[in-house]
Amino acid sequence: MYTANDKRYDTMKYNRCGKSGLLLPAVSLGLWHNFGDNSDYENMKAMCFTAFDNGITHFDLANNYGPSEGAAEINFGKILREELAPYRDEMIISTKAGYYMWPGPYGDWGSRKYLISSLDQSLKRLNLDYVDIFYHHRMDPDTPLEETMEALDQIVKSGKALYVGISNYDGPTLEKATAILKELKTPFIINQNRYNIFDRTIEKNGLKEKAKELGKGIICFSPLAQGLLTDRYLNGIPEDSRIRTDGRFLKESQLDEHKLECIRALNEIAKRRGQTLAEMALAWNLKDDYITSVIIGASKPSQILDNVKAIENINFTEEEIREIDKYSI
């Protein structure tokens, strides 16, 4: 049985999630990749142990993370049961539903039927009575927003989640959802959205400002732009890179010569700050009080250790911000 590092809380920074009572680590571990059927179980354990030993208390999942769908929850549930069970009350475990999960009309989007059924399945895979945060994973253009929000409310009131969140929403829909959940007295505390130096969507669609105004936290996924904001692509595209081996989420067309020039320029800024490009990219997300936490992915424990170093310097000069903005595309 795993025994946690006694000094695990000494260096991690914890941020209040909006105006709630919940604190999240500045760096959270996402299980989107490398926790599926095709991944090494011992490496999964090592990554979870490394994360927790360094103060990462938040583990972020979704019903469809794999491959195959549900595999990440099964594997993490096994690790939790066999190794991390004594530390359950020190951990924040989140999962989501909103994307395709099973065939037929009830395994996708945002109906009450889908969300509640999906969480019941997730809890079985995780071998848990409840999750700490349950998210609706994406906006549903057809299901009434009231139905989706009432389902989140029912989930909390049934004891299956402590808090709820929404993911991939825009600012106007966030405001409408907040009003519904406030009336229901549902503990809605957090938004999860893609955000990084290259992807400023939450600035453009109003979510970043609106979340701050409404007192909700923001947790960012893909803070390293699927690896583009690392030293991985400084000299072009490696043959073993995600672009070459898995083109579903990161395509070669996204990495033209102009983008490479921007990556190299950002790397030079990071060097002047005494950081790697990845450390600077994570620190950039955490530089102000808009962002509660960043979700990192990893394929090995050493990457987690490298990313945690980002919290050592999250202060930027105005000149650095302007220069980074110049290379944001």
Contact 266, 229 (CB under 8 A): yes
User: Do the domain assignments include residue 274?
Assistant: no
Rounded CA separation 70/150 (Å): 25
Is the distance from CB of 212 to CB of 290 less than 8 angstroms?
Answer: yes
Q: Tokens 């690392």 appear where?
A: 230
Give me the CATH number covering residue 166.
Answer: 3.20.20.100
**Count of domains in the chain?**
1
The verdict on residue 247 lying in a domain is: no
Q: Which domain holds residue 215?
A: 14-225+287-314
Residues 320 and 269 sit within 8 Å (Cβ to Cβ): yes
Q: What pTM does this model have?
A: 0.95
Is residue 255 in some structural domain? no
- 7 within domain boundaries: no
With respect to residue 142, please indicate whether it lies within any of the assigned structural domains: yes
Q: Are 24 and 15 a contacting pair, CB within 8 Å? A: yes
Spell out the per-residue pLDDT of the chain, length 329, in tens: 899 999 999 999 999 999 999 999 999 999 999 999 999 999 999 999 999 999 999 999 999 999 999 999 999 999 999 999 999 999 999 999 999 999 999 999 999 999 999 999 999 999 999 999 999 999 999 999 999 999 999 999 999 999 999 999 999 999 999 999 999 999 999 999 999 999 999 999 999 999 999 999 999 999 999 899 999 888 877 666 666 556 555 666 677 888 999 999 999 999 999 999 999 999 999 999 999 999 999 999 999 999 999 999 999 999 999 999 999 97
pLDDT value, residue 250? 62
Q: Residue 259: in which H helix or E strand, if any?
A: helix 257-272
Can you tell me which residue has the tokens 């898995």? 246
Instruction: State the pLDDT at residue 255.
Output: 77
